[in-house]
Structure 1
Amino acid sequence: MLVRVAVIEKDSCKPTKCGKPCRKYCPIVRTGQEAIYFVKDDEPPVINEYLCSGCCICVRKCPFNAISVVNLPDELEKKVFHRYGVNAFKLYGFPALSPGSVTGILGENGIGKSTVLKIIGGLVKPNLGRVGEEVNTEDILTALRGNVSFNLVEKIFKGRLKCIYKPQYLDEIPRLIGEKKVEEVLERIDEKKAFDRIIEQLDLKRVLNNRVNTLSGGELQRLAIAAACMREGDVYLFDEPSSFLDVRQRLKAADLIASLKEENKIVVVVEHDLTILDYLADYVVIMYGQPSVYGIVSQVLSARVGINSYLEGYIRQENIRFRKDSIKFHAHVRTEETPQVKMFEWPTIEVSIGNFHLSAESGSIGVGEVIGIAGPNGIGKTTMLKELLKSFLGDSSIPEGEVIKKIGYKPQYVSGLFKGVVSDILKEAYGGEIPEFLQDELIKPLKLDRLSDRLAETLSGGELQALAICTALLRDSPIYFLDEPCAYLDVEQRLTVIRAIRHTVLAKKSSAFVVEHDIAALDFLSDRLIFIQGEPSVFGQASQPMAVAEGMNSLLKYLDVTIRREPDNLRPRINKKDSKTDRLQRAQNKYYY
C-alpha cells in the first residue's frame, strides 16, 4: 500500500501565468473529483493527497517545476513527526540523542536537518503531520515511545532541559546586536567563566574591540560559536559551524564543540564538511528523501559507519538504498612535475592592500591541470587568485561584474552579482541552449533546474553560490578562476562541483585555479598546490606550485594534524591527536597519507 506526498513550491508556482495545466490534465479531476483545486485564482492550488493517484501528470505539465508528487510506503505514515503545512515539506522520524557525545546530522540541503535542530531547540513545535490541529506534548511523546533516548526527549519537550542553539545563518546577529563590541557581548553571556579560554581557542582576541556590525563572516561565525559555548545549557545545537572558517579555524572550533561532551552535554551538529564531521562526531544520523518534499531520519550509526553509508548511498542496518550510485574518492592520476604543455606563466607577484602585503613566486599552470590554493583566512588566497586573473587578462581595470562575463570566474562573494532570470543567465553563460548532458551532470544536481524561472535577486546565499559556480563552468574559458566553489553547498553538491571542475578541465583542455578550505575537496581536485603562509592580515608568502603530497604535507604540518585514508572509499580522515596512527605518521613526517 502506498501513500502520496504532494508538495507545491509556493515561490515557483505562478497560477496567473500558466493556464493551470495541473488541474486541467488531472485524470481524477476529469472524473469529477477535486484532487486538485484552487481556493483563489492567484494562489497556488491544493492537492488532495487522499484522492491523488500518483500518476504525476501534474508534475510533468507544470511549466515552472513547482509540483512534486512521490509515492511512499504507508508504514512510514506512522513515523510522521512534522509537516509545515498543506502540500508542504514532511519530516519522518526523530533522532535518538545521548549525553556525553556529539551526534552529527548528515544529508542534502532541504532534507530537514535544520528543522530537526529547531524542533530539539523548541523553535518549532512538531505537529505529527496534523496540519492545522493543536498537538499537545503528550501526543508528541506518545509518538516517540520506543525511541532509545525517550527519557531525554521527554525532558526536552517538557522544557526541563535548556537548549543552546547556534543558527545556520548569521545575518541577523549584527542587526540584533548592532554596534556593541565583541568583548562586551561575550562578557555579558559568559555564564561558565570561560571567557579567556574560549577567545584564545577561537582566535578572537584581535577583534575584541571591534563592533559586531563590522565583523566578517568568519569572525561572526566564531563569535556565534563562542557565545553558544560560554552559555550554560544541557543541549547544544550547532547548524553548519564551519561555514566561513578556514581549515585551522574549523579544527579549533571542532575541538571546542567536542569539549562540551566532557561536561556530559548533549551535542548535535549539522555539518557538510565530511572531514570535520568525521573528526568531531561520535555518532551520525543520516537524513535522506527528496529535498523540499520529504526527509527521513535514520537510526543512529557510529561516525565512521554513518559517513561511509552516506557515501555508499546504502544503510545496511536498515536495508535502505537512498542513492543509486555510491561516491568514492578515486585518486586521479597526478603529475609530480610541471606539465610539458604550459597554459599560462605568471611573474613574481608583490602587492600591497592597505596594511597587508602578499609575495608570490613565479610559476606556471599546464593544460588539463587544476592548481589548488590553500592557507588560513586573511593570508591572501583571494588576493593571489585576483592577481593571477589580472596577469592572465593583462588588464586590472575590468570590473568584477564584467570579468564574469568574459571568463570562467567565480568570486568569493556573489551577492548582487547577477540580475535577471536564472535560465537566461545560464544560457548567456553557455552561449545558447544548454545540452541535456550538462543539464544532467551540472544543473540538476545543483538544483538549478527548479530555479530556472526565478529572478537571481530573489535567490538565497546557497542558491546564488550554485548559480555562480555553474555559470563559471558553463563558459568556454582557457582558465577557470574559482574562489571557494564549495561554500554553502551540501555534500552531494560539493562532489558534483568537484567532478564538474575536473571533467570541464580535461574535456576542454583548459586549466583551473581553485581556492578551497574543504580538505577533502582540495585532495580530490588538485594536481598541484600553492600553499600561502605568513601572518593573517599582515603578510602572506605564496609558494611555487608543488606536488599535492608535498603541498598537503606542508598544509597539514602547519595545521598540526595528520590524515589517513579510509580503505573502502579513500576519503581522507583526520587522525585523533596522539593516536597510534598519528604518532607513527608524525615520526615518518607523513602528515598526508
Structure 2
Amino acid sequence: MISISEGNLLYEEDKILTDINLTIKSGECVVICGESGSGKSSLIRVLNGLIPELYEGNIEGKFNVLNRTLPTNEFHEYVKDIGVVFQNPKTQFFMSDVYSELAFSMENYGWKRQEMRERIQSLSDIFSLTTLWSKSMVELSGGQKQQIAFASACMLPHKLFLLDEPSSNLDEKHIDILTDYLMWLKKNNQTMIIAEHRLYYLLPVVDRFIVMKNGGIVQNMTKQELLSYKDSEISQLGLRSLTRPTLKQTQDTDGDSTENQLECLNLFFQYKNTDTSIEIEKLAFTSQSVTGIVGENGAGKTTLSYLLTGLLKPKKGMITYNGKRQTTKELISKSFLVMQDVNFQLFFESVEKEIKAKAKRLDLFDVVVQTLQLNQLLKRHPQTLSGGEKQRVAIASAVLSGKEIVILDEPTSGLDLKHMIEVSDMIKKLRQFGIILIIVSHDKEFLNLTCDHLVQMEEGKVNQNNQLE
C-alpha cells in the first residue's frame, strides 16, 4: 500500500522531513504523533500529493503510494483514490449547502445523477446527516462541519484515508461520533493514516503508533506496545494521555479590591434568519481567576467570545467593564481574541514582525519567546508553520498586546503535551498583570491544568447548575 525509503522533504534550505523509512499495509490504521512542528502534517501533505502540487517543497528518496511514485504527474487520477480530512474542515469546502458539498466530488468525476443521489442517501443514513442536507455550510457548528468533511471524503470509493488532526475543536459528543466513523472505515478494511495529538479516542481502531520528532521517525510501535508503557513514559515521549480525560470541579477564587471585572447583564443576541441565540441574565469574569467556557459544539461559546470582544453587538442588555457600560468600540480596544482559525490573524512576513506589530508589552518579549519556544521561528513566515506553531505565535501576540481582556478560543488546537503545558503556565502567569483571561475549549486536559473556574453553556444559555460532565 505505502512504502517510503530514505524519504526527505526540503523547503528552500530547511529539511522538513529527514530519512523517513516506513511501510504501511493495506487495511492498517496508523497514527502519527509527536510534538508540534515535528513533521506530521508535512508527511500527510506529501502522501496526499499537495506537496509539491500546491505547497512548495522538494521530495527526495522513494515514496511509493498506491503503486504510484511520488511526486506524480497524474495528480487528478492519484487523488481520486484518496480521502482527505483536514484539521480545519472549512479549507476543504467548495459549496454553499450541505447536499451540494456531499455531491461535489462525485460531480467532478462525472457520476450519473441517480448514482450520486443513492450514494448520498446511503452515507447520510450511516452518518446520520439527512437532517443537515438543506443547511447552509456557514450555519453548521464545528462538529457538524467535521462530520460533513468526513462524509464528503467517503463519497468516492477510496483506497486510502489521510486525516490531519480530525478531532481538533470537537466536543466529546462529536469525538465519539468521529470514533464511530473511523470504526466504520476499519470494518470496511480501509487504510488510514491519522496525524493526531489526542490519542485516547483512536484506541478502538489504531494498529500502530508512529512518533515523530524534528522531521524524523523516532518510534514505531504497535498499540499493545504503547499500552504497556507507564503514564510517565508516555509523557516522556511528549504524548497526550491514553485515558479519556474528565473535567475537575472548580471553585471561584476570592476576589479583592484590585481585581478587574467584565460582566454581562441581561445579554441577548440572535443571528438573522436562524434560531441560534445567546441569552444570559448575569455572568461575570474577573482578573483573579482564569475562566474556562465549556459546552458542546454549537452551544454559543464562540458567539459569546465575539460579544465580549466587541466583534458582535448585542440586541439587548449590556457588557460592563469595572461597572462602566462598554460600546463595541471600547471592547475592541480593550480585548484580544485568539481565534479558532489563527490563519485569519496572521498578516506579516515573519514571526517576529507578527508578534511585535501591535505589542505594548515588549518588556515581556524575551520571556514569551523563550517560554513558547519561538526562538528558532522568528525569521520564518507564519504561513509556513505547522498548526501548533501558528497557535503559539497567536498566543504570543495576545500576551504582548497589553490588552486588559484576553480570550483564547480553542488555544490548544494542534498543540502537543509539552507546548500545552507551556501555554498553560504562560496563561497563569498573566494573572499578575490584572488581565481578564477567558479560555473557550473542549480540551479537558488543558482546562484542568489552566482554569480556576468553569462556566458551562447549553443552547446559548449558562447552565446555572454547572454540572460538568
The normalised TM-score by structure 1 is 0.58
- Any residues of structure 2 matched to 1:112-127 within 5 Å, and which? 112-118=39-45, 120=47
Deviations, residues 89-119 of structure 1 (Å, cap 9, x unaligned): 3333334535555321102333222343355
Residue 226 of structure 1 deviates from its aligned partner by 0.7
Give the aligned partner of residue 10 of structure 1: none
Q: Which residue of 2 aligns with 1:410?
A: 338
Which of 353, 359, 368 pairs up with 2:271? 353
Q: Look up the SS of the partner of 2:329 in the other structure.
A: coil
Deviation of 1:392 (Å) = 3.9
**1:360 and 1:544 in contact (8 A); partners too:** no
Give me the whole-angstrom Cα distance separating, in 2, the residues matched to 1:157 and 1:399.
57
Could you say which structure has the larger radius of gyration?
1
Aligned counterpart, 1:296: 217
Deviation at 1:156, TM superposition (A): 7.6
1:215 deviates by: 7.3
Q: Which runs of 5+ in 2 are unaligned?
A: 53-57, 71-76, 311-318
Please state if 1:480 is matched with 2:406.
Answer: yes
The answer to whether residue 165 in structure 2 is matched with residue 240 in structure 1 is yes
Q: Assess, with a 3 A threshold, how the Cα gap between structure 1 residues 414 and 172 changes in structure 2: closer, same or farther.
A: closer
SS in 1 for 2:326: coil
After superposition, residues 281-320 of structure 1 pair within 5 angstroms as 281-288=206-213, 290=214, 294-302=215-223, 304=227, 308=231, 311-314=234-237
* Offset, 1:469: 1.8
Alpha-carbon separation, structure 1, partners of 2:144 and 2:328:
30
Work out whether residues 103 and 267 of structure 1, in 8 Å CA contact, stay in contact via their aligned partners in 2: yes
> How do residues 175-574 of structure 1 correspond to structure 2 at under 5 angstroms?
181-185=100-104, 195-196=120-121, 198-199=123-124, 202=127, 204-209=129-134, 220-278=145-203, 281-288=206-213, 290=214, 294-302=215-223, 304=227, 308=231, 311-314=234-237, 335-336=250-251, 339-341=254-256, 343-344=260-261, 345-354=263-272, 355=274, 356-389=276-309, 391-393=319-321, 394-398=325-329, 402-403=332-333, 406-417=334-345, 419-420=347-348, 422-427=351-356, 428-434=358-364, 436-442=366-372, 444=373, 447=374, 449-453=375-379, 464-476=390-402, 479-505=405-431, 507-508=432-433, 510-534=435-459, 540-544=460-464, 546=466, 550-551=467-468, 553=469
C-alpha displacement of 1:287: 0.8
CA deviation profile, 1:138-193 (whole Å, cap 9, x unmatched): xx7xxxxxxxxxxxx89687999995231536566345x68882353377578996
Point out the structure with the larger strand share.
2
Instruction: Quote the offset at 1:398 in angstroms.
Output: 1.1
- TM-score (norm: length of structure 2): 0.71
SS in 1 for 2:15: coil
- With over 3 angstroms needed to count, the CA separation of the structure-2 counterparts of 1:531 and 1:215, relative to structure 1, is closer
Q: CA deviation at 1:518?
A: 2.2
CA distance in 1, matches of 2:59, 2:49: 19
Code of the aligned partner of 1:426: I
The secondary structure found in structure 2 opposite 1:103 is strand
The Cα shift of 1:232 comes to: 2.5
Q: Are the aligned partners of 1:408 and 1:472 in contact in 2 as well (CA < 8 Å)?
A: yes
Alpha-carbon distance between aligned partners in 2 of 1:455 and 1:187, rounded to the nearest angstrom? 36
1:241 Cα deviation (Å)? 1.7
Letter in 2 for 1:410: V
Q: Which AA in structure 2 matches 1:517? A: H
Partner Cα separation in structure 1 for residue 202 and residue 186 of structure 2: 15
Gaps of 5+ in 1: 1-77, 126-130, 141-152, 315-321, 535-539, 554-593
User: What is the alpha-carbon distance in structure 1 between the residues aligned to residue 140 and residue 250 of structure 2?
Assistant: 41
Count of equivalent residues: 425
Cα deviation for residue 122 of structure 1 reads 6.4
Query: Which of the numbers 68, 72, 89 marks the counterpart of 2:16?
Result: 89
CA distance in 1, matches of 2:295, 2:417: 22
| Selected match of 1:165 from 83, 86, 99 | 83
Change (3 A) 1:309 1:99: farther
Change (3 A) 1:458 1:285: closer
2: distance between equivalents of 1:541 and 1:408?
23
* Alpha-carbon distance between aligned partners in 1 of 2:59 and 2:345, rounded to the nearest angstrom: 40
Partner of 2:7: helix, strand, or coil?
strand
Q: Percent identity?
A: 24
Partner of 1:103: 30
Give the AA of the match of 1:524: L
d(CA) in 2 for partners of 1:374, 1:178: 29
Cα 1:132–1:379, aligned 2, differ >3 Å: closer, same or farther?
A: closer
CA distance in 2, matches of 1:110, 1:459: 7
Q: Which amino acid aligns with 1:185?
A: F
Residues in 1 aligned to 2:411 and 2:106: alpha-carbon distance in whole angstroms: 36
CA RMSD in angstroms comes to 4.7
SS in 2 for 1:469: helix
Kept in 1, the 8 Å contact 2:102–2:155? The answer is no
For residue 347 of structure 1, what is the amino acid of its counterpart? L
Tell me: CA distance 1:458–1:185, structure 2 relative to 1, closer, same or farther (3 Å): closer
Q: Distance in 2 between matches of 1:115 and 1:424?
A: 25
Q: Which stretch of the first structure deviates more once superposed, 356-365 or 103-112?
A: 356-365
For the residues of structure 2 that align with 1:113 and 1:244, how far apart are their CA atoms? 18
